[in-house]
Amino acid sequence: MRNGTRTTLAIAGCCIVALAACSTKDPNASGNGSGGQSDVKAGAGVTDDAITVGMLTDLSGPFAAGAAVQVAETKAYYAQVNKDGGVCDRQVKVDVQDHGYDPQKAVTLYRSMAPNVLALQQVLGGPTSAAVLPLAQADHLYLGGFGWAGNSLKYDNAQIPGTTYSVEAANAIDYLVDELGVKKGDKVGVVYFTGDYGNDSLAGAEYAAEKRGLKIVPQEITPKDTDMSAQASALKKAGASAVILAAAPPQLASLAGVLASQKVNVPVIGHAPTFNPALLDSPAGPALLKNYYAFTSTAPYSSDEPGVKKAVDLYEAAAPKGAKGFEVPLAYAQAELLTDAMKGACEAGNLTPEGVVEAMRKTSDLDLDGLLTTSLDYTDPSQPPTRTVFVSRADADTPGGLKLGETFEGPSGKGYTFK
Protein backbone atom coordinates (compact mmCIF):
# COMPACT_ATOMS: atom_id res chain seq x y z
CA MET A 1 0.00 0.00 0.00
CA ARG A 2 2.76 2.39 1.00
CA ASN A 3 4.55 1.49 -2.15
CA GLY A 4 1.55 2.43 -4.24
CA THR A 5 1.57 5.86 -2.64
CA ARG A 6 5.23 6.24 -3.36
CA THR A 7 4.71 5.28 -6.96
CA THR A 8 1.95 7.83 -7.28
CA LEU A 9 4.19 10.47 -5.81
CA ALA A 10 6.96 9.58 -8.20
CA ILE A 11 4.65 9.86 -11.17
CA ALA A 12 3.26 13.13 -9.92
CA GLY A 13 6.80 14.43 -9.55
CA CYS A 14 7.62 13.51 -13.10
CA CYS A 15 4.50 15.26 -14.29
CA ILE A 16 5.53 18.44 -12.53
CA VAL A 17 8.96 18.31 -14.12
CA ALA A 18 7.35 17.75 -17.47
CA LEU A 19 4.99 20.65 -16.96
CA ALA A 20 7.88 22.89 -16.03
CA ALA A 21 9.29 22.20 -19.44
CA CYS A 22 6.01 23.20 -21.00
CA SER A 23 5.51 26.25 -23.00
CA THR A 24 2.47 27.68 -24.66
CA LYS A 25 4.32 30.15 -26.76
CA ASP A 26 4.85 29.10 -30.36
CA PRO A 27 8.48 29.83 -31.24
CA ASN A 28 7.90 29.83 -34.97
CA ALA A 29 4.30 30.98 -35.06
CA SER A 30 5.03 33.26 -37.97
CA GLY A 31 7.65 31.27 -39.85
CA ASN A 32 6.64 28.40 -42.05
CA GLY A 33 9.32 25.76 -42.16
CA SER A 34 12.41 25.84 -44.27
CA GLY A 35 12.35 27.80 -47.44
CA GLY A 36 14.45 26.64 -50.36
CA GLN A 37 17.30 28.66 -51.67
CA SER A 38 15.38 29.42 -54.83
CA ASP A 39 12.33 31.59 -55.05
CA VAL A 40 10.09 28.54 -54.83
CA LYS A 41 8.70 27.90 -51.38
CA ALA A 42 9.29 24.26 -50.48
CA GLY A 43 7.05 22.25 -48.18
CA ALA A 44 6.87 18.72 -46.87
CA GLY A 45 8.52 16.14 -49.08
CA VAL A 46 10.47 18.71 -51.06
CA THR A 47 14.20 19.24 -50.91
CA ASP A 48 16.45 21.22 -53.16
CA ASP A 49 16.79 18.41 -55.62
CA ALA A 50 13.97 15.96 -54.91
CA ILE A 51 10.25 15.70 -54.52
CA THR A 52 8.70 12.74 -52.74
CA VAL A 53 5.19 11.63 -53.58
CA GLY A 54 3.48 8.81 -51.73
CA MET A 55 1.50 5.78 -52.79
CA LEU A 56 -0.55 4.15 -50.07
CA THR A 57 -1.75 1.03 -51.72
CA ASP A 58 -2.73 -2.58 -51.25
CA LEU A 59 0.13 -4.91 -52.04
CA SER A 60 -0.77 -7.79 -49.75
CA GLY A 61 -4.57 -7.71 -49.63
CA PRO A 62 -7.37 -8.47 -52.05
CA PHE A 63 -6.38 -5.83 -54.61
CA ALA A 64 -2.68 -6.56 -54.52
CA ALA A 65 -2.36 -7.65 -58.12
CA GLY A 66 -4.05 -4.63 -59.69
CA ALA A 67 -2.28 -2.33 -57.27
CA ALA A 68 1.08 -3.76 -58.28
CA VAL A 69 0.36 -2.90 -61.92
CA GLN A 70 -0.34 0.67 -60.90
CA VAL A 71 2.82 0.86 -58.82
CA ALA A 72 4.89 -0.44 -61.71
CA GLU A 73 3.33 2.03 -64.16
CA THR A 74 3.62 4.97 -61.78
CA LYS A 75 7.27 4.25 -61.10
CA ALA A 76 7.95 3.92 -64.80
CA TYR A 77 6.17 7.22 -65.41
CA TYR A 78 8.27 9.12 -62.89
CA ALA A 79 11.46 7.46 -64.09
CA GLN A 80 10.60 8.92 -67.49
CA VAL A 81 9.80 12.32 -65.97
CA ASN A 82 13.10 12.29 -64.11
CA LYS A 83 14.95 11.40 -67.27
CA ASP A 84 13.38 14.42 -68.91
CA GLY A 85 14.55 16.73 -66.15
CA GLY A 86 12.08 16.10 -63.38
CA VAL A 87 9.49 18.44 -61.94
CA CYS A 88 10.50 21.92 -60.88
CA ASP A 89 14.13 20.93 -61.42
CA ARG A 90 13.78 18.19 -58.92
CA GLN A 91 13.76 14.42 -59.24
CA VAL A 92 10.51 12.77 -58.21
CA LYS A 93 10.77 9.88 -55.77
CA VAL A 94 7.85 7.54 -55.13
CA ASP A 95 7.38 6.27 -51.58
CA VAL A 96 5.22 3.14 -51.77
CA GLN A 97 3.58 1.77 -48.63
CA ASP A 98 1.28 -1.20 -48.29
CA HIS A 99 -1.87 -0.98 -46.18
CA GLY A 100 -3.12 -4.44 -47.10
CA TYR A 101 -6.70 -3.10 -47.35
CA ASP A 102 -6.71 -2.50 -43.59
CA PRO A 103 -8.01 0.97 -42.62
CA GLN A 104 -6.08 0.95 -39.35
CA LYS A 105 -2.82 0.34 -41.16
CA ALA A 106 -3.77 2.92 -43.76
CA VAL A 107 -4.33 5.62 -41.17
CA THR A 108 -1.12 4.81 -39.35
CA LEU A 109 0.96 4.68 -42.50
CA TYR A 110 -0.66 7.91 -43.61
CA ARG A 111 0.66 9.48 -40.42
CA SER A 112 4.15 8.34 -41.24
CA MET A 113 3.97 9.53 -44.84
CA ALA A 114 2.12 12.80 -44.49
CA PRO A 115 5.02 14.83 -43.07
CA ASN A 116 7.37 13.54 -45.74
CA VAL A 117 5.45 13.72 -49.00
CA LEU A 118 4.35 16.57 -51.19
CA ALA A 119 1.28 14.69 -52.34
CA LEU A 120 -0.29 11.28 -52.22
CA GLN A 121 -0.40 9.85 -55.69
CA GLN A 122 -2.63 7.04 -54.54
CA VAL A 123 -4.69 5.78 -51.64
CA LEU A 124 -6.25 2.59 -52.89
CA GLY A 125 -9.43 0.93 -51.65
CA GLY A 126 -12.88 1.98 -50.44
CA PRO A 127 -12.59 1.70 -46.63
CA THR A 128 -8.94 2.69 -46.63
CA SER A 129 -9.36 5.84 -48.70
CA ALA A 130 -12.50 6.72 -46.71
CA ALA A 131 -10.39 6.62 -43.56
CA VAL A 132 -7.52 8.65 -45.01
CA LEU A 133 -9.45 11.29 -46.98
CA PRO A 134 -10.63 13.37 -44.00
CA LEU A 135 -7.15 13.30 -42.46
CA ALA A 136 -5.57 14.42 -45.71
CA GLN A 137 -8.11 17.17 -46.02
CA ALA A 138 -7.27 18.43 -42.56
CA ASP A 139 -3.61 18.42 -43.57
CA HIS A 140 -4.38 20.09 -46.94
CA LEU A 141 -2.61 17.26 -48.69
CA TYR A 142 -3.31 16.36 -52.30
CA LEU A 143 -4.81 12.92 -52.69
CA GLY A 144 -5.38 10.95 -55.88
CA GLY A 145 -5.96 7.39 -56.96
CA PHE A 146 -8.84 6.46 -54.69
CA GLY A 147 -11.20 5.28 -57.42
CA TRP A 148 -14.23 7.10 -58.72
CA ALA A 149 -16.65 7.12 -55.79
CA GLY A 150 -18.92 10.17 -55.70
CA ASN A 151 -18.47 10.82 -52.01
CA SER A 152 -14.88 11.91 -52.63
CA LEU A 153 -16.31 15.10 -54.12
CA LYS A 154 -16.78 16.30 -50.56
CA TYR A 155 -13.03 16.81 -50.33
CA ASP A 156 -11.36 19.69 -52.12
CA ASN A 157 -7.94 18.05 -51.84
CA ALA A 158 -9.00 14.95 -53.77
CA GLN A 159 -8.49 14.77 -57.50
CA ILE A 160 -10.77 12.33 -59.27
CA PRO A 161 -9.44 10.92 -62.54
CA GLY A 162 -12.54 11.44 -64.66
CA THR A 163 -16.10 11.21 -63.57
CA THR A 164 -17.87 9.25 -60.83
CA TYR A 165 -19.43 5.78 -60.79
CA SER A 166 -22.80 7.47 -60.41
CA VAL A 167 -22.36 9.51 -63.58
CA GLU A 168 -21.06 6.42 -65.37
CA ALA A 169 -24.17 4.50 -64.32
CA ALA A 170 -26.49 7.36 -65.23
CA ASN A 171 -24.85 7.55 -68.64
CA ALA A 172 -25.26 3.81 -68.96
CA ILE A 173 -29.02 4.14 -68.47
CA ASP A 174 -29.12 6.89 -71.08
CA TYR A 175 -27.14 4.69 -73.43
CA LEU A 176 -29.48 1.76 -72.88
CA VAL A 177 -32.48 3.88 -73.78
CA ASP A 178 -30.92 5.85 -76.60
CA GLU A 179 -28.74 3.26 -78.26
CA LEU A 180 -29.72 -0.23 -77.15
CA GLY A 181 -33.48 -0.04 -77.46
CA VAL A 182 -34.52 -0.31 -73.83
CA LYS A 183 -38.03 1.10 -73.56
CA LYS A 184 -39.83 3.22 -71.05
CA GLY A 185 -41.23 1.06 -68.28
CA ASP A 186 -38.57 -1.59 -68.72
CA LYS A 187 -36.64 -2.84 -65.77
CA VAL A 188 -32.89 -2.62 -65.28
CA GLY A 189 -31.12 -4.71 -62.68
CA VAL A 190 -28.34 -3.19 -60.61
CA VAL A 191 -26.15 -5.74 -58.86
CA TYR A 192 -23.79 -3.86 -56.61
CA PHE A 193 -21.27 -4.24 -53.78
CA THR A 194 -22.22 -2.65 -50.49
CA GLY A 195 -19.92 0.31 -50.14
CA ASP A 196 -18.86 3.53 -51.74
CA TYR A 197 -18.37 1.94 -55.15
CA GLY A 198 -21.60 -0.02 -55.53
CA ASN A 199 -23.91 2.36 -53.78
CA ASP A 200 -22.63 5.28 -55.84
CA SER A 201 -23.36 3.37 -59.00
CA LEU A 202 -26.83 2.49 -57.75
CA ALA A 203 -27.55 6.13 -56.94
CA GLY A 204 -26.66 7.19 -60.48
CA ALA A 205 -28.73 4.43 -62.02
CA GLU A 206 -31.73 5.24 -59.85
CA TYR A 207 -31.53 8.92 -60.75
CA ALA A 208 -31.35 8.19 -64.46
CA ALA A 209 -34.04 5.54 -64.31
CA GLU A 210 -36.44 8.03 -62.83
CA LYS A 211 -35.59 10.56 -65.52
CA ARG A 212 -35.95 8.05 -68.32
CA GLY A 213 -38.97 6.20 -66.99
CA LEU A 214 -37.30 2.91 -66.19
CA LYS A 215 -37.49 0.77 -63.08
CA ILE A 216 -34.46 -0.36 -61.11
CA VAL A 217 -34.22 -3.85 -59.59
CA PRO A 218 -31.44 -3.56 -56.99
CA GLN A 219 -29.49 -6.61 -55.79
CA GLU A 220 -26.94 -6.04 -53.05
CA ILE A 221 -23.97 -8.38 -52.78
CA THR A 222 -20.58 -8.52 -51.08
CA PRO A 223 -17.19 -9.38 -52.56
CA LYS A 224 -17.38 -12.88 -51.13
CA ASP A 225 -20.53 -13.71 -53.14
CA THR A 226 -19.14 -15.18 -56.31
CA ASP A 227 -22.12 -17.28 -57.31
CA MET A 228 -24.68 -15.03 -58.93
CA SER A 229 -27.30 -17.73 -59.65
CA ALA A 230 -29.82 -16.39 -57.16
CA GLN A 231 -29.38 -12.82 -58.36
CA ALA A 232 -29.63 -13.90 -61.98
CA SER A 233 -32.81 -15.82 -61.30
CA ALA A 234 -34.29 -12.86 -59.51
CA LEU A 235 -33.40 -10.59 -62.44
CA LYS A 236 -34.89 -13.06 -64.88
CA LYS A 237 -38.06 -13.24 -62.83
CA ALA A 238 -38.27 -9.47 -62.72
CA GLY A 239 -37.82 -9.43 -66.48
CA ALA A 240 -34.86 -7.09 -66.48
CA SER A 241 -33.88 -5.87 -69.94
CA ALA A 242 -30.35 -4.91 -68.89
CA VAL A 243 -28.04 -5.26 -65.93
CA ILE A 244 -25.56 -2.83 -64.42
CA LEU A 245 -22.90 -4.59 -62.37
CA ALA A 246 -20.97 -2.54 -59.86
CA ALA A 247 -18.80 -5.38 -58.61
CA ALA A 248 -15.61 -7.25 -59.46
CA PRO A 249 -14.58 -9.69 -62.21
CA PRO A 250 -15.65 -12.86 -60.36
CA GLN A 251 -19.19 -11.54 -60.08
CA LEU A 252 -19.22 -10.45 -63.73
CA ALA A 253 -18.15 -13.87 -64.94
CA SER A 254 -20.75 -15.58 -62.84
CA LEU A 255 -23.61 -13.24 -63.65
CA ALA A 256 -22.97 -13.14 -67.39
CA GLY A 257 -22.60 -16.91 -67.47
CA VAL A 258 -25.76 -17.65 -65.52
CA LEU A 259 -27.82 -15.13 -67.49
CA ALA A 260 -26.65 -16.72 -70.72
CA SER A 261 -27.40 -20.20 -69.43
CA GLN A 262 -30.92 -19.07 -68.58
CA LYS A 263 -31.28 -17.67 -72.09
CA VAL A 264 -31.48 -14.14 -70.78
CA ASN A 265 -29.76 -12.24 -73.52
CA VAL A 266 -29.47 -8.67 -72.27
CA PRO A 267 -26.71 -6.08 -72.12
CA VAL A 268 -24.48 -6.34 -69.04
CA ILE A 269 -22.80 -3.08 -68.12
CA GLY A 270 -19.83 -2.67 -65.83
CA HIS A 271 -17.40 -0.08 -64.54
CA ALA A 272 -13.62 -0.19 -64.79
CA PRO A 273 -13.09 -2.49 -61.76
CA THR A 274 -15.79 -4.88 -63.00
CA PHE A 275 -13.79 -6.35 -65.83
CA ASN A 276 -10.69 -8.46 -66.19
CA PRO A 277 -9.43 -9.72 -69.58
CA ALA A 278 -8.83 -13.20 -68.11
CA LEU A 279 -12.60 -13.61 -67.98
CA LEU A 280 -12.77 -13.95 -71.72
CA ASP A 281 -11.05 -17.35 -71.43
CA SER A 282 -13.49 -18.55 -68.81
CA PRO A 283 -16.75 -20.37 -69.54
CA ALA A 284 -18.48 -17.01 -69.39
CA GLY A 285 -16.34 -15.70 -72.27
CA PRO A 286 -18.86 -16.09 -75.11
CA ALA A 287 -21.58 -14.40 -73.10
CA LEU A 288 -19.30 -11.47 -72.30
CA LEU A 289 -18.27 -11.04 -75.90
CA LYS A 290 -21.90 -10.83 -76.86
CA ASN A 291 -23.31 -8.65 -74.11
CA TYR A 292 -20.68 -6.84 -72.09
CA TYR A 293 -20.34 -3.06 -72.18
CA ALA A 294 -17.81 -1.18 -70.09
CA PHE A 295 -18.59 2.39 -69.01
CA THR A 296 -15.35 3.86 -67.77
CA SER A 297 -13.77 7.21 -67.03
CA THR A 298 -10.33 6.24 -68.26
CA ALA A 299 -9.60 4.82 -71.68
CA PRO A 300 -9.25 1.05 -72.13
CA TYR A 301 -5.79 -0.45 -72.58
CA SER A 302 -6.26 -0.87 -76.31
CA SER A 303 -7.22 2.72 -77.16
CA ASP A 304 -5.38 4.26 -80.11
CA GLU A 305 -5.23 7.71 -78.58
CA PRO A 306 -1.68 9.06 -78.15
CA GLY A 307 -1.92 9.36 -74.36
CA VAL A 308 -2.90 5.74 -74.00
CA LYS A 309 -0.24 4.62 -76.48
CA LYS A 310 2.40 6.36 -74.42
CA ALA A 311 1.11 4.74 -71.24
CA VAL A 312 1.05 1.28 -72.79
CA ASP A 313 4.49 1.59 -74.38
CA LEU A 314 5.96 2.70 -71.12
CA TYR A 315 4.31 -0.17 -69.26
CA GLU A 316 5.26 -2.86 -71.73
CA ALA A 317 8.84 -1.71 -71.56
CA ALA A 318 8.84 -1.69 -67.77
CA ALA A 319 6.87 -4.89 -67.19
CA PRO A 320 6.86 -6.96 -70.36
CA LYS A 321 5.04 -9.83 -68.73
CA GLY A 322 2.69 -7.73 -66.60
CA ALA A 323 -1.07 -8.03 -66.61
CA LYS A 324 -2.82 -5.80 -69.14
CA GLY A 325 -5.80 -3.90 -67.88
CA PHE A 326 -7.45 -0.61 -67.09
CA GLU A 327 -4.87 0.03 -64.36
CA VAL A 328 -2.20 1.01 -66.89
CA PRO A 329 -3.92 4.03 -68.48
CA LEU A 330 -5.39 4.89 -65.09
CA ALA A 331 -2.03 5.01 -63.32
CA TYR A 332 -0.55 7.00 -66.16
CA ALA A 333 -3.46 9.46 -66.11
CA GLN A 334 -3.19 9.90 -62.38
CA ALA A 335 0.52 10.53 -62.60
CA GLU A 336 -0.10 13.08 -65.33
CA LEU A 337 -2.71 14.81 -63.21
CA LEU A 338 -0.42 15.06 -60.20
CA THR A 339 2.56 16.11 -62.28
CA ASP A 340 0.47 18.83 -63.82
CA ALA A 341 -0.61 20.02 -60.36
CA MET A 342 2.98 19.97 -59.10
CA LYS A 343 4.14 21.92 -62.11
CA GLY A 344 1.38 24.43 -61.46
CA ALA A 345 2.49 24.75 -57.85
CA CYS A 346 6.06 25.22 -58.99
CA GLU A 347 5.06 27.99 -61.34
CA ALA A 348 3.08 29.64 -58.56
CA GLY A 349 6.23 29.51 -56.45
CA ASN A 350 4.55 27.46 -53.76
CA LEU A 351 5.78 23.89 -53.90
CA THR A 352 4.03 22.85 -50.70
CA PRO A 353 1.17 20.41 -50.13
CA GLU A 354 -1.24 23.33 -49.97
CA GLY A 355 0.29 24.76 -53.12
CA VAL A 356 -0.29 21.50 -55.01
CA VAL A 357 -3.94 21.40 -53.96
CA GLU A 358 -4.37 25.05 -54.98
CA ALA A 359 -2.76 24.47 -58.34
CA MET A 360 -4.96 21.43 -58.93
CA ARG A 361 -8.06 23.49 -58.16
CA LYS A 362 -6.97 26.13 -60.65
CA THR A 363 -6.87 23.57 -63.46
CA SER A 364 -9.76 24.44 -65.73
CA ASP A 365 -8.84 22.98 -69.08
CA LEU A 366 -6.52 20.01 -69.05
CA ASP A 367 -6.34 17.55 -71.93
CA LEU A 368 -4.63 14.23 -71.43
CA ASP A 369 -4.44 13.07 -75.04
CA GLY A 370 -7.27 10.61 -74.88
CA LEU A 371 -6.51 9.05 -71.49
CA LEU A 372 -9.66 10.72 -70.28
CA THR A 373 -12.67 11.58 -72.39
CA THR A 374 -12.70 15.35 -72.50
CA SER A 375 -10.70 18.22 -71.18
CA LEU A 376 -10.94 18.47 -67.44
CA ASP A 377 -12.15 21.23 -65.16
CA TYR A 378 -11.25 20.88 -61.48
CA THR A 379 -12.22 24.35 -60.35
CA ASP A 380 -15.43 23.28 -58.64
CA PRO A 381 -14.63 20.67 -55.96
CA SER A 382 -18.26 19.59 -55.74
CA GLN A 383 -18.47 18.58 -59.39
CA PRO A 384 -16.57 15.95 -61.33
CA PRO A 385 -14.19 17.41 -63.93
CA THR A 386 -16.10 15.80 -66.77
CA ARG A 387 -19.31 13.85 -67.29
CA THR A 388 -18.40 12.04 -70.46
CA VAL A 389 -17.48 8.37 -70.37
CA PHE A 390 -15.87 5.79 -72.61
CA VAL A 391 -18.08 2.99 -73.86
CA SER A 392 -16.17 -0.18 -74.73
CA ARG A 393 -17.12 -3.68 -75.82
CA ALA A 394 -15.50 -6.94 -74.81
CA ASP A 395 -13.22 -8.25 -77.52
CA ALA A 396 -11.11 -11.36 -77.39
CA ASP A 397 -8.46 -10.20 -79.85
CA THR A 398 -7.74 -6.86 -78.23
CA PRO A 399 -5.00 -6.49 -75.62
CA GLY A 400 -6.75 -5.86 -72.30
CA GLY A 401 -9.92 -7.43 -73.63
CA LEU A 402 -11.87 -4.24 -74.19
CA LYS A 403 -12.26 -2.46 -77.49
CA LEU A 404 -13.07 1.21 -77.37
CA GLY A 405 -16.37 2.10 -79.00
CA GLU A 406 -17.12 5.75 -78.42
CA THR A 407 -17.35 8.47 -75.83
CA PHE A 408 -20.78 9.20 -74.54
CA GLU A 409 -22.64 11.73 -72.44
CA GLY A 410 -26.39 11.39 -71.96
CA PRO A 411 -28.91 13.76 -70.44
CA SER A 412 -29.04 11.94 -67.09
CA GLY A 413 -25.28 11.76 -66.90
CA LYS A 414 -25.18 15.45 -67.48
CA GLY A 415 -27.96 16.24 -65.05
CA TYR A 416 -27.05 13.97 -62.16
CA THR A 417 -26.84 15.98 -58.99
CA PHE A 418 -24.57 15.10 -56.08
CA LYS A 419 -25.95 15.09 -52.59
Partner 1 sequence: MTYFLTQLANGLSYGLILGLIAVGFVIVFTSTGVLNFAHGSVLLSGAYLVASLQGPIGFWAAAAVGVVGAAVLGVLINALLVRNLAEANPGTAAILMLGVDIVLLTELTRRIGNNVLSIGAPWGADVVSVGGITLPTSRVVAAGLAIVVFGLLWFLFARTGAGIAMRAAAADSDTAAMMGVRPSRTGAAGWALAGALAAVAGIFLASFPAPGVAPTLALSSFAAIPAWVLGGFDSVVGAIVSGLIIGVVTALAVGYEAELHFLGRGLGEVVPYAVMILVLLVRPSGLFGRKEAVRV
Partner 2 sequence: MSDLIRRGPMVLGLLVALALPLLLDDFWLQTGLFAMASVVGAIGLTLLVGVAGQLSLGHAFFAALGAYTYAWTVGDPAGQEAGLGLPPLVALVLAGVVSAVVGGLFSPISGRLRGIYLGLATIGLVFLARHLMVNLEALTGGFNGRTVEPFSVPGFSFSNAAPDYLAVAGVQFEGLHRLWYLFLGIAVLSAWLGRNLRAGRTGRALANVRDSEVAAAAMGVNVARAKATAFVISSAYAGIAGALMALAYGRIAPDLFGIQLSIDFLVMIVLGGLGSIAGATAGAVFVVALPLVLAQYSSQLPFLAAPGSGGLDAATLARLLYGAAIIAVLLFLRGGLAGAASRIRHRRSAHQRGTGGPPLVPTPSPDPSGATEPPPSQPAVSTRSEEKS
Enumerate binding residues for partner 1 (CB under 8 A).
60-66, 68, 194, 217-234, 237-238, 249-254, 257-258, 260-262, 276, 278-279, 281-284, 287, 323, 325
- CB 56 to partner 1: min, Å: 19
- CB 139 to partner 2: min, Å: 8
DSSP E strands, 150-285: 158-159, 187-193, 215-221, 240-246, 268-270
- CB 134 to partner 2: min, Å: 5
By beta-carbon proximity to partner 2, the closer residue of 18 and 39 is: 18
By beta-carbon proximity to partner 1, the closer residue of 8 and 222 is: 222
- CB 66 to partner 1: min, Å: 5
Instruction: Please state whether beta strands 158-159 and 292-296 pair in parallel, antiparallel, or not at all (unpaired).
Output: unpaired
Interface pick for partner 2 out of 32, 104, 375, 379 (rule CB under 8 A): 104
- CB 7 to partner 2: min, Å: 6
Interface pick for partner 2 out of 46, 94, 114, 188 (rule CB under 8 A): 114
Site string for partner 2, 50-69 (x = CB under 8 A): ---------xx---xx-xxx
Interacting positions 143-172 with partner 2 (CB under 8 A): 151
- CB 412 to partner 1: min, Å: 23
DSSP E strands, 251-291: 268-270
Residue 221: name its binding partner from partner 1, partner 2, none (Cβ under 5 to 8 Å by kind).
Answer: partner 1
Closest Cα to residue 269, out of 140, 149, 180, 207?
A: 180
Q: Which one-letter amino acid corresponds to residue 239?
A: G
Residue 115: name its binding partner from partner 2, partner 1, none (Cβ under 5 to 8 Å by kind).
Answer: partner 2
SS3 string, 304-316, reads: CCHHHHHHHHHHH
Residue 252: name its binding partner from partner 1, partner 2, none (Cβ under 5 to 8 Å by kind).
Answer: partner 1
Query: HSE (CB half, 13 Å, CA atoms) of 94?
Result: 23
- Which residues, at least 6 apart from 121, have a Cβ–Cβ distance to it below 8 Å? 53, 54, 55, 74, 94, 144, 145, 334, 335, 338
* Phi and psi at residue 298, to the nearest 5°: -100, 155
What is the spatial distance between Cα 218 and Cα 235, in angstroms, rounded to a whole number?
A: 9
Distances (CA, A) of 332 to 56, 81, 104, 178, 218: 16, 12, 28, 32, 34
CB distance 370 to 301 below 8 Å? no
Interface pick for partner 2 out of 33, 35, 85, 115 (rule CB under 8 A): 115
Interface with partner 2 (CB under 8 A)? 3, 7, 10-11, 14-15, 18-19, 21-27, 29, 59-60, 64-65, 67-69, 71-72, 96-100, 102-105, 107-112, 114-115, 126-127, 130-131, 133-135, 138, 151, 194-196, 199, 319, 321-322
